[in-house]
Amino acid sequence: MTDQLRIALAQLNPKVGDLPGNLALAKKALADAVAAKADILMFSELFLTGYFPDDLLFKPQFVTDAMAAAQTLAAETAGTDVVLVLPTIWKDQTGLHNAVIVAEKGHIFALRFKRELPNDDVFYEKRYFAAGPLPLPVTIKGVSVGIPICEDIWHPWVCEHLMREGAEILLCPNGSPYWTNKQHIRKELVRKHAVEHDVPLIYLNQVGGQDELVFDGASFAIAPGDKLVLQGKSFETDFLISDWHREGDTWTSTNGRIEELTSVEEAPWRAAVLGLRDYVFKNGFSHVVLGLSGGIDSAVVAAMAVDAFGPEKVHCIMLPYRYTSDESLKDAKDCAERLGVRYDIVSIGNPVDDALVELAPIFDNRAPDLAEENIQSRMRGVVLMAVSNKLGSMLLTTGNKSEMGVGYATIYGDMNGGYNPLKDMFKMEVYALADWRNKHMPGDSFGPKGEVIPQSIIDKAPSAELRPNQTDQDSLPPYPVLDDILRSIVEDEMSLGDVVARGHDPALVKRIERLINIAEYKRRQSAPGPKLTPRAFGLGRKYPITNGYKDVTVG
């Protein structure tokens, strides 16, 4: 039995399915742990496979290869004094498990399986895994250590069982994605366990973007007495070392590094930038292109892209037509110059006019309407996709959650693109982030300091500029009103009657609900984007396209 433990946490950025790459990251962390004279090295949930592998888990060869990679890493502990706590998949006679292997001196000496399998929001683990029994502690260096896996700590009986069985320390590996206020929610849960059981709980989370999910890291430890003794970086990789010593019957630590948590104002920006960066790089792209219209959404996406990659890897294109205002041309150029990106102007005038001439016999003198407006948007999409194809850039699309909510976007036009950083941000949140970015320099950023988004873009009325003197409010309510209605219906699932009770016009509420419903087919075909709220379109909110339900709480 020992009275001293040095614990290392590898807060890293694995890639789903990249077993060789993730194994290389793990070997480097093991070498770092050996150099730091650590007793224990822990990785985040399903580290070797990446979180979450989805239907890769149905591929027998993937399971075989993942288990072999785990055994390879376990063998690397030979000749070291480090005990490896490695979350990965493991298959036995009872099925496939979300597991942790514990290895020392080159051999796996313990296996523990996740007991509580989440089956809501973005998690469908019951589709893939068999639940394990209530876990027993593992004896490491003579110390009884409980290893609840992620969801296990959200169900009190798992930690209670571990404590009854003699656990002195709880090590919790996680794959917990970010959404608003998530860091504080996690910390309060861990505090509750640490106080109730008088036990230290060390919480390790992964970092990085994986399709729509963004993992924010921010690993930490709470010691008995409700003491925060360790806090890792947010939205960045980190390697954390903490020394623990026994005082009577409890363990405590006094030398852990404490990083400042990312503020709630900065966190959405950092999440969007990290999700964008990893989506582009992990899918083999090295640079991006987007249409810069002189409006708020494209300006914010351009700034995020520069923060993610640096200005030399961002290409912005203005695509004017006869309705594009001089102010938009000026603002787009100003924004591009502030960000330091390549900026080109490609007029869509002739292609759009030629299309209208060719379509005239079919349109048969019908009055101009959305069809003509959408040709402009789709022509812009054609040009941007051509640049993407020719230069190998990933095309970014820029529609916000308010527009996507009511279908205020042109499918196969401005919805074209491989990724959308604003997909889960309401319009007023985009404005707030633009203002925040102009006043702050985000962490882990390659962009310039200062006012990168011209104030004139923030101040002017939003417009698609598809007809003379058009503004968004010609066909939509003011965005503060629209956002409140959307948040009530989409995120809070309120009845229409309850939304009206918030002070909204009944006819408007019914109209917005109808727009939400009929735009589902568009959203189903939209580019992925970072999930920043519990009810992101697509990954967090799955509604049928063909939907006959009618809310009759408003007449």
Element (H, E) at 95: strand 95-104
Write down the catalytic residue from 45, 151, 212, 266.
45
Torsion sign (Cα): 42, 46, 49, 52: negative
Q: Is 45 a catalytic residue?
A: yes
Q: Has 529 been labeled as part of a binding site?
A: no
Q: Has 374 been labeled as part of a binding site?
A: yes
Q: Has 141 been labeled as part of a binding site?
A: no
Q: Has 292 been labeled as part of a binding site?
A: yes
| C-beta of residue 235 within 8 angstroms of C-beta of residue 261 | no
Write down the catalytic residue from 114, 282, 401, 427.
114
Q: Has 297 been labeled as part of a binding site?
A: yes
| C-beta of residue 268 within 8 angstroms of C-beta of residue 180 | yes
- 315 burial (CB, 10 Å; 0-12 / 13-18 / 19+) is buried
Q: Has 445 been labeled as part of a binding site?
A: no
Q: Has 212 been labeled as part of a binding site?
A: no
Peptide bond between residue 52 and the one before it cis (omega within 30 degrees of 0): yes
Residue 173, φ and ψ in degrees, nearest 5:
-80, 140
The tokens for 264 are 């709630």
| C-beta of residue 144 within 8 angstroms of C-beta of residue 102 | no
Q: What is the DSSP string of 482-496?
A: HHHHHIIIIIS---H
Q: DSSP 3-state assignment of 116?
A: coil
Q: Is 316 a catalytic residue?
A: no
Between CA 114 and CA 135 the distance in angstroms is: 8
Q: Has 225 been labeled as part of a binding site?
A: no
Write down the catalytic residue from 150, 159, 172, 335.
150
Helices (runs of H) and strands (runs of E) counted in the chain? 16, 19
Q: Has 294 been labeled as part of a binding site?
A: yes
Q: Has 182 been labeled as part of a binding site?
A: yes
Give the count of alpha carbons within 13 A of 129, CB side only.
23
Give CA torsion, residues 309, 396, 425, 151, to 10 deg: -70
Q: Is 114 a catalytic residue?
A: yes
Q: DSSP 3-state assignment of 53?
A: coil
Beta-sheet pairing, 143-146 with 250-253: unpaired
Q: Has 298 been labeled as part of a binding site?
A: yes
| C-beta of residue 271 within 8 angstroms of C-beta of residue 304 | no
Q: Has 233 been labeled as part of a binding site?
A: no
Which residues contribute to the annotated binding site for L-glutamine?
A: 176, 182
Which residues contribute to the annotated binding site for deamido-NAD(+)?
A: 374, 403, 522
Which residues contribute to the annotated binding site for ATP?
A: 291-298, 398
Which residues contribute to the annotated binding site?
A: 176, 182, 291-298, 374, 398, 403, 522
Q: Which positions are annotated as active-site residues?
A: 45, 114, 150
